[in-house]
């Protein structure tokens, strides 16, 4: 980290134990994503009166190249946050989730969906619950009745155009469609 972690205590006495816990959590984040440039943590004890104990509010701001991750944990009357350790844990868990999402986006490791293709139904076996369609390239694709959206299998007819998505895993009968939508 280019700038040391900055920890601020408001409306409460500084605690070396809490500071150590925060630094440990920041070290874990930095181990996961070493490009963190700065981290500011504000820990505040709610000074308003409550029926039970005081609540702790935690704000974490993480700087990484080209992006800032900010988390505020200020749950009103969330009594688990009467324990400062729980408030810190919850805030850093939220930061970690956002940092993981950011890292996935940067790696382009996000789920992509297959583009639907157009085909034509060539064979229908209603008593057996399956059909076959022909792709634009002339290949045959197996269609199970569960793959047809909105229970539309009963409406399938030979020659009907359909939009389909191929399953990444071929079945017993070869290539199979995972989703089939009859076209008007």
- With a cut of 80, say whether residue 184 has pLDDT above it: yes
pLDDT: which is higher, 106 or 44: 44
Per-residue confidence (pLDDT) for residue 5, from 0 to 100: 94
Q: Mind listing the pLDDT tens digit for each residue in 81-131?
A: 578 888 899 899 999 999 998 888 887 765 666 678 999 999 999 999 999
Per-residue confidence (pLDDT) for residue 105, from 0 to 100: 81
pLDDT: which is higher, 167 or 160: 160
- With a cut of 90, say whether residue 143 has pLDDT above it: yes
* Torsion angle (degrees, nearest 10) of CA 126, 173, 147, 109: 180
β-sheet bridge partners, residue 141: 133
Rounded to whole angstroms, the Cα distance separating 5 from 95 reads 15
- Sorted by where each starts, the structural domains of the chain and their CATH numbers stand as 6-106 (3.30.160.100), 117-182 (2.40.50.140)
- Return the H-helix or E-strand segment holding 122: strand 117-125
């Amino acid at each position: 980290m280019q700038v040391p972690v900055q920890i601020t205590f408001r409306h409460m006495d500084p605690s070396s134990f809490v500071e150590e816990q925060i630094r440990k959590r920041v070290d874990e984040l930095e181990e996961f994503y070493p490009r963190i440039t700065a981290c500011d943590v504000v820990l505040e004890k709610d000074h308003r009166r409550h029926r039970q104990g005081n609540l702790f509010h935690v704000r974490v701001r993480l700087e990484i190249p080209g992006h800032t991750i900010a988390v505020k944990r200020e749950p009103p009357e969330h009594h688990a946050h009467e324990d400062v350790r729980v408030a810190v844990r919850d805030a850093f868990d939220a930061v970690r989730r956002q940092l993981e999402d950011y890292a996935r986006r940067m790696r382009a490791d996000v789920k992509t969906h297959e583009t639907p293709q157009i085909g034509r139904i060539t064979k229908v076996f209603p008593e057996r619950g399956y059909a076959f369609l022909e792709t634009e390239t002339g290949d045959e694709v197996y269609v199970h009745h569960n793959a047809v959206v909105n229970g539309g299998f009963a409406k399938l007819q030979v020659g009907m155009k359909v939009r389909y998505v191929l399953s990444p895993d071929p079945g017993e009968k070869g290539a199979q469609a995972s989703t089939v939508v009859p076209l008007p």
